[in-house]
A and B are shown apart, each in its own frame.
Chain A
Amino acid sequence: MLDMNVLNNLAELSKLSFTEEELKKLSRELGEIMEFVSVINNFNEQPGNIQKNAVVYSQLRADIAMESLPREQLLENAKEHSDTYFKVPKVV
C-alpha cells in the first residue's frame, strides 16, 4: 500500500484526478508493483565502469536552419485556436 499523501502528491505532479475509490485501488496496485520490483534492492554490485546510459547511442548533428512544418497544418490538430495562436483558458 502506498501512503495516501504520497499518492495525492503524485496525482498532482501527474496532472491527473482520481476519486477516493480509485486512489484506494491505485494505492494497493502500486504497492504490489513496488513489492514486485523490490528484488532490485538485492542488486549490490558496483561495477566501476558503469556508464549512465549503457544502451542508447546518440550523436549530435549539425544545427541546420530548415523550414518548419506549415503552421496552418499544425493548428488543424488543436481543438481551439485563434488565427495563428493556440487558445488556452485565461492565465492571469
Chain B
Amino acid sequence: MEFNNYTIKELSSLLRNKEISAVELTEMYLKRIKAKDVQINSFITVCEDTAREMARKAQQAIDRGEVGQLAGIPVSVKDNICTTQIPTTCASKMLENFVSPFDATAVDRLKNNYAVMLGKTNMDEFAIGCTSQRSVFGGVKNPHSTDFSPGGSSGGAAAGVAAGFCAAALGSDTGGSVRQPAALCGVTGLRPTYGTVSRYGLVAFASSFDQIGPIARSAEDCGILLSAIAGKDFYDNTTVELANTEYNSKIGSSIKGLTIGVPAEFFGEEIDDEVKTIVMNAAKQYESMGCTLKEVSLPSFKYALSAYYLISSAEASSNMGRYDGIKFGYRSLNGDTYDELIKNTRTEAFGDEVKRRIMLGNYVLSKENYNALFVKSQQVRAKIKEDFKNIFDTCDCIITPTTPHSAYKIGELESTPVKMYSANICTVPVSVAGLPAINTPCGYDKNGMPVGMSIVGRAFDESTIIMLADAFERSFVRREPAI
C-alpha cells in the first residue's frame, strides 16, 4: 500500500493504531523520492540516515504514547532553514558546503514533536525569485506538468508535497514564496502573521517580511504544523507572545454569517480571466455556505509592488553584506588584498538576481534616493496596513486570487526582471501589511494546471482562515499529479 497521498491527520491515525510504523513510512517516502525526484528536482539534500534515526526515535515515542500528531510524520525543510549536520545551501554557490552549528527554532520545534525530516528542498537562490529556476542545483519542475515552473521561491517544498515526496513541508514567505508555489502546485500553503514564527535560523532575505510557513495537503495539516512551530522565541525579539497557538481550534465550526471581502483591485486587468472566474466561483461557494460576500477596496494596492521591491531589496543588500568569504561559505582563491578577496568571493558565488537586488538595494539606500524611495516606501507600507485595517472593520476575511496566472512554462518569466516581479502582485500586499494568508487550490485551468485562492485574515487570526480554507476543501476534489 502507498501512503503518499495521505494527509498528516490520516498518517498520524495509522501510526497511532500501529497499522504502519514510523520507520516503514519513512522508508516508503525515501523510496519514492529516490525513484521519482529525478523528474522534479525538489530536493537538494535527502538525509536518509538522519531520517531513519529520527523515525526510530519517533516510533519509540509513539510506543510510549506521549506524542502529538506530528510524531513520525515525514516532512521536508526548505534549504534556507538551518539544520545541524545537514547542509543549508540556500541553493547558492555561496553556501554550497555550509553546515549550520545550530538548528533553526522551527526545526528544533519539529524535532521536539518527533517529526521526521527527510531532507532539504530546492528553491530560488537565497529565496529571491518566484520560479525556483534560480538554483545552483538546477531548476524545479511542476509535478502537474514538468514543462511548467512550480513557482517559488519555495518551489521544491510545494512540488515535493504535490508529488507525494513528503507529507508536509516548511517553506518561507517574504513576498509570496509559500503561497504562490502552493497555488501553482495545487497544494495548501500558509503565510503566518509577521511575528508568529521565529526567524532564528532562517537565512535572512528581507527581515521585516520573512516568515517561515507550512505547505501541506490540507488547511488542517497546515494548522498542525503551524501549531508546532509558532510562538515566542528567546532568539528572535520580533516574535510575539501568543495567547493561543492551537490553530485548528475553529475547524468544523459554522462559517454561517461571516463576511468575506472581495477587493476589486485583486480582480483587475492584470489578472487572467480564467483565474478570475475560478476564484470568483469559489467565493460564490462560500456564499452558498452562508457567508456574505462584500465588495471592498484597497486603494493603495497600486503602490504595493513598488514599496515591496524597494524595501525588500534594501533589506537584502544589507543582509547579503555578511557574505565575505572569511567566516563561512565560499571563499575565492583569488585576491591578494582583503578588499579583492571579498569582491571576488561575492562576484564568483552570487547569481545574477541576487547581484541585481544588492545593487538595487544599495541604490535605494543611497543618500540621493533614501527619502524619495526608502522613506516613501515605508509610508506606503503604513498606508497599505491602514487600508487592510479599514476592510477588516467590516469583514472577517478577504478572498483574492493567489497568482495573476496559473503556472508559467519554465523560462517564460525569467526573461526580464520586471515581468518576474509582477508575478507576485496578489501576494505582495499581504506581506507588506504583515498579515496571515492561506492558499488553497480552487480549480484547474484549461491545461489542467492548478489555480489557487488566498484567504487573508486579521493579524494573528490564522485560526479563522484555516477554518474557512478547510470548509472549502471538504467539498473540493483535488487532482493528484500523475507522477
Give the dominant DSSP class at B's interface.
Answer: helix
B321-374 contacts to A, CB under 8 A, are 324-331, 335-344, 346-347, 350, 355-356, 358-360, 362-363, 366, 372-373
Is the C-beta of A65 less than 8 angstroms from some C-beta in chain B? Answer: no
B368-398 contacts to A, CB under 8 A, are 372-373, 376-383, 385-386
* B375 to chain A: closest residue by CB: A52
Q: How many residues of B contact A (CB 8 A)?
A: 68
Instruction: Output the least CB separation between B105 and chain A (Å).
Output: 14
Do A86 and B303 have beta carbons less than 8 Å apart? no
Residues of A contacting B302 with CB < 8 Å?
A: 39
Please judge, given known A-B contacts A30-B363, A33-B360, A56-B208, whether A88 and B341 are in contact too, CB under 8 Å: yes
- Which of B18-26, B234-242, B270-278, B287-295 has 4 or more CB atoms under 8 Å from chain A? B234-242
Do B356 and A30 have beta carbons less than 8 Å apart? yes
Do A91 and B363 have beta carbons less than 8 Å apart? no
Give the dominant DSSP class at A's interface.
Answer: loop
Is the C-beta of B126 less than 8 angstroms from some C-beta in chain A? Answer: no
Interface residues on A, range: 35 or more
Instruction: Output the least CB separation between B134 and chain A (Å).
Output: 15
Against B, the Cβ 8 Å flags (1 = close, 0 = not) of A28-61 are 0110111011111111011100111111111111
Tell which of A29, A46, A91 has the most Cβ of chain B within 10 Å.
Answer: A29
Residue in contact with B359 in the complex, picked from A11, A46, A79, A88, CB distance below 8 Å: A11
Residues of A contacting B416 with CB < 8 Å?
A: 29, 32
Residue in contact with A54 in the complex, picked from B342, B360, B385, CB distance below 8 Å: B385
A interface residues with partner B (beta carbon < 8 Å)? 2, 6-7, 10-11, 13-18, 26, 29-30, 32-34, 36-43, 45-47, 50-61, 69-70, 73-74, 76-80, 86-91
Ranked nearest first, the 4 interchain pairs of A and B with the lowest CB-CB distance are A77-B328, A55-B434, A37-B306, A79-B331
